[in-house]
Structure 1
Amino acid sequence: MPRDTTAEEHLRDMKPAMLRGWRRRCPSCGTGPMFKGYLAVRGECPVCNEDLSHHRADDGPAYLTILIVGHLMAPLLLWAFVEYEPDPLIIASLFSVGCVALSLYLLPRLKGVIVGIQWAKRMHGFGESKD
């Protein structure tokens, strides 16, 4: 069966793009910062001039953050409550701080991963830029 070389030529490596996004770096060069604030993606990379304005992360990073934090913290909360039987106010305070801290850590990184995936798959106009 003949291989589709046109599709293979247009593919970019997804794993490095995702790892660069996790580090909040440009998915193209991996050196320039992707964000100009906490979650605001730059219009273009200051190092390689890759146009990053095409991203459409929308609610994906928030959804993934809630999914991961919920799946990590809920069993841990249940285990801590059963094992140590702390005062409910203390455990609620501790886990509230833990959930907020983990969410603040994960949200920009997951947004970077999603932008990296979109760049690697040439979604939403990323395919029109130079390699």
Structure 2
Amino acid sequence: MSEAQPPVIEAAVKGACPRCGAPSLFSGWVKFAPRCPDCGLDYSTFNVGDGPAAFLTLIVGAIVVGLSVWLELVAEPPVWVHLLIWPPVTLALVVFGLRWAKGALIALEYRNAAREGRLKDPAP
């Protein structure tokens, strides 16, 4: 790892380029920029796919279910309170978490030089 590479957490939170650390990873809220304007790293060569969404589904689901069960056991609120609280909490965690998860996975993919696997052509 070179001196300029930011830690994975920093790259995720700041949307930093995994090579140089410039805050240029995203061109929109969760859309990757085509390349880093500082070091020229081509972001289109990376493919995080549905990994961030899958991780968020598990993590956010566990958090929301745990908190809703805790609230039910502690305060026993009416159902409408749960319906008022948990959809916005879930939405906020997904929206903010998706950007961080995508940033972390692309930084890890760069750091570990992860690429698509290819089978060699069979010998004739």
TM-score band w.r.t. shorter chain: 0.7 to 0.9
* Number of the residue aligned with 1:99: 90
Q: Distance in 1 between matches of 2:11 and 2:38?
A: 14
Structure 1 stretches of at least 4 aligned residues deviating more than 6 Å after TM superposition: none
Q: Distance in 1 between matches of 2:113 and 2:52?
A: 19
Q: Superposition pairs for residues 1-131 of structure 1, below 5 Å?
A: 12=1, 16-124=7-115
Q: Number of aligned pairs?
A: 114
Shift of 1:18: 4.6
Shift of 1:75: 1.1
Shift of 1:17: 3.7
**Residue ranges of structure 1 left out of the alignment (5+ in a row):** 1-11, 126-131
Q: Deviations over 1:50-97 (max 9, x none)?
A: 111111111100011111111111111001012111110121220111
Q: Distance in 2 between matches of 1:106 and 1:59?
A: 14
Question: What is the CA RMSD across the aligned residues, in angstroms?
Answer: 1.9
| 8 Å CA contact retained: 2:60, 2:90 | yes
Q: Distance in 2 between matches of 1:119 and 1:42?
A: 15
Shift of 1:30: 0.9
Q: Distance in 2 between matches of 1:77 and 1:87?
A: 12
**Residue ranges of structure 2 left out of the alignment (5+ in a row):** 117-124
Instruction: Calculate percent identity across the aligned residue pairs.
Output: 25
1:45 partner amino acid: C
Q: Distance in 2 between matches of 1:21 and 1:104?
A: 14
1:80 partner amino acid: L
| 8 Å CA contact retained: 1:32, 1:47 | no
Q: Deviations over 1:33-65 (max 9, x none)?
A: 101012211111012111111111111000111
